[in-house]
């Protein structure tokens, strides 16, 4: 408004016939100045809301809130500490649950962005969006959803949800078990089956999500499922893959038992594991890192679900994907998603610290990106 005052000073002392005009002029200037101020304010406020929506600027606010949640988590006894329970501290804040809950999901995305920027972790957090990754991602065009498959976290259920949404079957109960993983028949295409432009368009505009769980507990689960119980009758795990691992990694040559968790740990922690990976083909999806499966630093996922909080995360994902009125996630049996430290300790018992540290060194990216606590009770 500086120019306005200046002009009114210049107009002083002019003749009376000018005075009327001067007053009018004065008023117009005042009005124009006010409009200018209002206009500038509107532009500024628009700019402020826009920058707030930009996640990188928003992060400053997020980090503050994140810090308030962390000490509570760290204060808990190491035995019971689990990152997933971090939901609780934010829940204690005076805001209503509806407002607070999405914060957890935003913090997860923010953590990923921060860890992706850490130079020291680069090789453990980054991967190319290769055909291997595009094969892991399933497409629901009807509702514009991409789902990256991460085995051993209830993925079959999510696939069923998407199969129903794509319209191949009317309900989850009606999908035959053998069709869920048969992508010729189940009407759930892989992202890799599209052209380059179609892939780019979907990656840019669709709702994208995947589910993670504690990386070591996941490996135990994969080991049990593929080498111990093998409920889906996939004989190649025990008859091809296990002997391959034993040949290369068993320490005690006179030991003739079937594959032990120790052999598996030594294979996974070997910096040259790729040599065997290549022979095992896509079966490695059960134990390669989440980074290798879903490229979380290259693809900007909309939501990351945690197996440990699936009871809250599944409905949230359905809501965010805009499909909560169409499907619901099947009932989760109580207790199965809870992190079980006793079980983890039991499986790693007797395995050398060196081998466990090498395993952690490979999975450190997954631990850090998804906020899982470093398992010091195994490493030290
Ligand atoms: C190697 O395995 C055999 C057979 O199970 C066992 O008797 C022997 O004690 C083991 N040796 C070592 C050094 O663990
Ligand atoms: C944790 O795992 C142990 C050993 O596998 C099992 O005995 C126990 O029941 C599990 N605890 C819970 C709470 O599931």
Given the CA of residue 340, which atom of ligand 2 is nearest to it? 1
- Ligand 2: centre distance to CA 344 (Å): 10
User: Is 340 close to ligand 2, i.e. is its CB under 6 Å away?
Assistant: yes
For atom 11 of ligand 2, the residue with the nearest CA is: 340
Distance CA 324, CA 258 (A): 45
- Ligand 1: centre distance to CA 323 (Å): 56
pLDDT of residue 81: 36
For atom 6 of ligand 1, the residue with the nearest CA is: 255
3-state SS assignment for residue 303 = strand
Choice among 20-29, 72-81, 100-109, 367-376 with the minimum mean pLDDT: 72-81
Give mean pLDDT, residues 171-200: 90
- Ligand 2: centre distance to CA 170 (Å): 37
Ligand that lies nearest to the alpha carbon of residue 262, given by its number in the listed order: 1
Choice among 93-97, 185-189, 293-297, 334-338 with the minimum mean pLDDT: 93-97
Q: 132-151 burial, b for 16+ CB within 10 Å, e for fewer?
A: bbbbbbbbbeeeebbbbbbb
- Ligand 1: centre distance to CA 348 (Å): 18
Residue 310 burial (CB count, 10 A): 22
For atom 12 of ligand 1, the residue with the nearest CA is: 252
φ, ψ (nearest 5 deg) of residue 352: -65, 145
pLDDT of residue 28: 64
Q: How confident is the model at residue 273 (pLDDT cuts 50, 70, 90)?
A: very high
Choice among 76-90, 171-185, 217-231, 361-375 with the minimum mean pLDDT: 76-90
Given the CA of residue 252, which atom of ligand 1 is nearest to it? 1
3-state SS assignment for residue 48 = helix
Closest by alpha carbon to 313, among 32, 108, 160? Answer: 108
Residue in 254, 256, 258, 260 to alter for ligand 1 test, most ligand atoms within 8 A of Cβ: 254
Residue 128 burial (CB count, 10 A): 10
User: Is 335 close to ligand 2, i.e. is its CB under 6 Å away?
Assistant: yes
Q: How confident is the model at residue 181 (pLDDT cuts 50, 70, 90)?
A: confident
Tokens, residue 345 = 């300790």
Given the CA of residue 257, which atom of ligand 1 is nearest to it? 5
Residue 332 burial (CB count, 10 A): 14
Q: How confident is the model at residue 37 (pLDDT cuts 50, 70, 90)?
A: low
Q: How confident is the model at residue 331 (pLDDT cuts 50, 70, 90)?
A: confident
User: Is 342 close to ligand 2, i.e. is its CB under 6 Å away?
Assistant: yes
| HSE value, Cβ hemisphere, 13 Å, CA-based, for 260 | 16
Distance CA 287, CA 277 (A): 10
Query: Mean pLDDT for the chain?
Result: 81
For atom 2 of ligand 2, the residue with the nearest CA is: 343
CA 80 to chain centre: 23
Given the CA of residue 335, which atom of ligand 2 is nearest to it? 14
- Ligand 2: centre distance to CA 264 (Å): 21
- Ligand 1: centre distance to CA 254 (Å): 6
Give mean pLDDT, residues 253-278: 95
Report pTM: 0.74
For atom 4 of ligand 2, the residue with the nearest CA is: 343
**Residues framing ligand 1 (Cβ under 6 A):** 252, 254-255
């Amino acid at each position: 408004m500086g120019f306005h005052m200046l002009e009114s000073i210049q107009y002083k002392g002019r003749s009376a016939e000018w005075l009327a005009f001067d007053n009018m002029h004065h008023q117009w200037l005042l009005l124009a100045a006010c409009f200018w101020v209002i206009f500038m304010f509107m532009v500024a406020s628009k700019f402020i809301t826009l920058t707030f929506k930009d996640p990188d600027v928003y992060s400053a606010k997020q980090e503050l809130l994140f810090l308030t949640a962390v000490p509570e988590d760290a204060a808990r006894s190491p035995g019971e500490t689990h990152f997933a329970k971090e939901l609780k501290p934010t829940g204690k804040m005076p805001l209503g649950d509806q407002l607070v809950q999405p914060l957890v999901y935003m913090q997860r995305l923010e953590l990923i962005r921060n860890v992706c920027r850490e130079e020291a972790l680069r090789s453990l957090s980054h991967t190319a969006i290769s055909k291997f990754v595009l094969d892991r991602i399933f497409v629901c065009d009807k509702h514009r959803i991409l789902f990256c498959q991460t085995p051993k976290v209830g993925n079959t259920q999510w696939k069923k949800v998407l199969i129903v949404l794509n319209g191949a079957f009317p309900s989850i109960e009606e999908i035959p078990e053998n069709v869920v993983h048969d992508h010729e028949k189940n009407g759930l295409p892989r992202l890799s089956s599209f052209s380059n432009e179609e892939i780019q368009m979907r990656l840019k505009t669709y709702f994208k999500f995947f589910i993670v769980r504690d990386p070591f507990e996941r490996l135990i689960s994969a080991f049990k499922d593929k080498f111990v119980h093998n409920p889906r009758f996939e004989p190649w795990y025990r008859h091809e893959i296990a002997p391959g691992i034993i040949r290369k990694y068993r320490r005690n040559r006179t030991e003739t038992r079937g594959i032990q968790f120790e052999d598996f740990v030594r294979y996974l922690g070997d910096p040259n594991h790729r040599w065997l990976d290549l022979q095992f083909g896509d079966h490695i999806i059960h134990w390669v890192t989440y980074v290798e499966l879903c490229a979380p630093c290259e693809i900007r996922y909309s939501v990351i679900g945690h197996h440990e909080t699936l009871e809250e995360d599944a409905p949230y994902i359905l809501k965010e994907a805009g499909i909560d009125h169409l499907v619901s996630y099947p009932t989760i049996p109580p207790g199965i998603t809870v992190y079980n430290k006793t079980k983890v300790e039991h499986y790693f018992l007797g395995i050398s610290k060196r081998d466990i540290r090498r395993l952690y060194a490979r999975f450190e990216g997954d631990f850090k990106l998804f906020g899982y606590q470093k398992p010091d009770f195994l490493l030290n």
